[in-house]
Each structure stands twice: as structure tokens, then as C-alpha cells.
Structure 1
């Protein structure tokens, strides 16, 4: 039986299964990718599996956004307090923020368009790729997962949905970021006061600069886990179909018709 592995003899592969996750090419809407980059720099690149660039932009966002007090400015602007928004913003960091923010949107859109073209070529070439790997620390293989479960676990804690579909690196970073956001925003302290009926104390305890990161984190965790679960299921079906066709297509059984009987 043939060994279905990435042997670097093909020009393009649709997917690669490794100990830390499954990376694959599939069609993506460039506008949705750009939107996620606008919501949080780096998220669009993570959707494209460009992890190094994505995590670099996320770390940059956390640093520069906090130094510029951008989230404070957003909250004051949305509440109509434009004078406080002007006072709280740090212009030296804010002017540094804008070029990289725009670059993240543009680069994720451009990359999505290019990767869609690469996917179409890889789909036409349909080269063999590995679907199972086992090592001393982990096992990973293609199988089908339930998208609803990926949504459920991601909604509870961003990163758990990625762990469910074996995207270990993304899951580790997302859970780590969520711990940082929850700790510095004091959101659990605010929830504690809220359950006790002390609304004013809950409001005072909440740190809006860090709290504003959490909605984007949860939304992205849910969306990313759902999309990748669906695409992994499609990849599983495609790999199974290719394997059966190449190895068992010659054993076709001819069913006689009533006339031949």
C-alpha cells in the first residue's frame, strides 16, 4: 500500500498534519479576513495560519494599545466624552499605532487573495499529504469533529475550541492571552460584586483598558474554532475519497442487470 506522506516532490500541498496541529489551505473571504485584522491586529493572519506574523502583530497591539491608552479613548468617545478622550490618548504612541494597524489589514487581505489562488492550484494538483503522525509527546490525525462543540468550548474559554480540534499552538496562545485579559481587567472581581448586588463597586473594579480586549478574543475564538472544524471535516472527506479511489478503484464490482440475468 502506498505511503501518503509529504515527500517534498509536489509543488503544493493542501494540508500538513504535525504534532502541534493541522495546517491546511482552503478558500477564505478576503474581506472577512481584513475585518478580523481591523477588530484585532493579528487575528486575520491567524485565520490564514500565518502564526508568526499573527502573534507578532498581537503582541504589538497589546504593547502599543496600552501605552497609547487607545481603549480608554474608544470608551470615552463612545460615551460622548470627547474631551476626556483627547486628554487620555498619548499621541507619541498613537501615531506609532496607525501605520502598523493599517498594514495588518492590508497584508491580511493581500495574503488571503494570494492563498486562495494557491489553494486552487493545490486542489488541482491534489498531491498526497500525511494524515497521521505519532511522536513521543503527542498524536495527531485527521478525523471528524462537531462544529457545535468547538463553538461551545470556545465560548466558555477562548482556546478550548482550538484545543478540541488539535490546534495546540493557537490554543496555548489564546488561553494565555485570555488569562492576561481577565486578570488585568478585574472582570471576575466585577462579576463577584455584581452577583452581590453592588453594581457601583463592580463598575469601579473593572479596568476598561484591558476589558475591551475580551469581546474580540471571545468572538475570534468562536469563529476560528468553528471555521477550522468545518474545514478539517472537509479535508478528512477529501483525503478519504482520494485514498479509496487510488487504492480500491480497480476492484469495482459489476452488478449484472436484469437483462443479463
Structure 2
């Protein structure tokens, strides 16, 4: 056991899965309420780590799967989930983003054992990048709490070009993520797993100017209806397509949106 409460495991670097989502983090106003809510809905246990008193790590069977930080002092910021993508160099990634019209909100800054930055693509969708040792082994993280992320945006092809250039998707480097167009979405795979999707509607549809581009986190659960009931019972909301639905959009008590998807659903 390490001093921060995590289990000893082989060190895995962001270099080994660069371009793929490697972590998800929630910024919230009420750390205690968030911990209670996600424990009830997703069964997460919590511990403090190296990132200070206002940051908590969620665990599933001892494996760190997500982080939650307090937003005290951040005024009217909206509580939100943010995906982080593994990169070989935070500085070079930030430079590529800025050269292609993206913006930098924070960083890169050091958080031992790595460096992070918070960016936005040229349509305003916020995402993070991480260079360094991963909190958990990538495959271990995905087994403990399967997750994928979906970008809702106005133009999937334009967004795919931006992220491919910034995060080096579909490059010739070993381990690079694969990008394909399937079922009206751009689909990103890493080591054979679907890890991200980019959606803007059917190919023939014009870009929708009313869409507020954003990344949506999808957590995989055994029972979508049970997760929805737990969310409602603990101060959140849940929107399902109907009884027996394989997916539901949930909102925690602080207004952060996320999606739960049934295991085995496409």
C-alpha cells in the first residue's frame, strides 16, 4: 500500500496510451455531498491522496477510477465532469492546441507524479491533458470502472481533425489511437477498446448552431434503472428514454451531468 492509500502496482506512463482518455475528474462546490451521491449511485469509495485536502479519489475494489475537487473560491463556475487525455508532452500538446485555435484555461502545471493542463477546443468544449505516471494502470482503470467519453459538437469531422492533430490520433507512432467513422459518429479506439466518440448528427445534416459543445462522461453500470433511482433519491435527477432503457442521463445535486450506460450496450 502506498502512503496515499492506493494499492502498489506497476508504474504506467501516459506515453504508453497517448491520445486516449486516462482519467475523469469532477469539479464541485460540495465535496461531501458529491462523495455521498456517487457512493450511492456508482458504489464508489473515497480516499484522500497527494493532491491536497480539497481533492478526493474514488475507488472501485481498491483501484482509483475518478477524482473530485472542491471549487471553493471559483464564483459562479458550473459543476462539471472533465475527461483527461494521456499525452507524451503537456507543453507540446498545449502548443499544438493553441496553433489550431484552441485555448488554454490552466497550465501546464505540475502535480507530482505528472503535469496537467485544462484546455478548450476551438468550439469551446473543455478537456484536460495529463503527462506522466497514471493514477492507475490504464487497463486496470478501464476494468474497474469502464468508461468512455463522447463529444457533442457542431461538426464532428472538424472536431476530429482538431483532436487528431492535438492529441496525435491516427499517427504512425506505436500505440496511437485508431479513428474511424461508424454509425454517424467518429469513433476512437485504443488497444481495441472504444474509448471516445464524437457526435454531431447525421452526415447530411447541417451543423446545429444551438449545440453547446461539451464532453459527456459515460460510466458503465450493471443496472441503469437502479442508478437512476439512486440519483433521484440522493438529490439528483435522471432522464431515461423509457423503462428498460440501456442509458440514462443523470445530474448530481450540484448540477454536473453524466451518463450511465448498461454493460454490454453498444
Which TM-score bucket, shorter chain as reference?
under 0.3
Bigger relative CO (Cα 8 Å, ≥ 6 apart): 1
Please state which structure has a larger fraction of its residues in strand.
2
TM-score for both structures, normalised by structure 2? 0.23
Please state which structure has a larger fraction of its residues in helix.
1
- Structure number, greater radius of gyration: 1
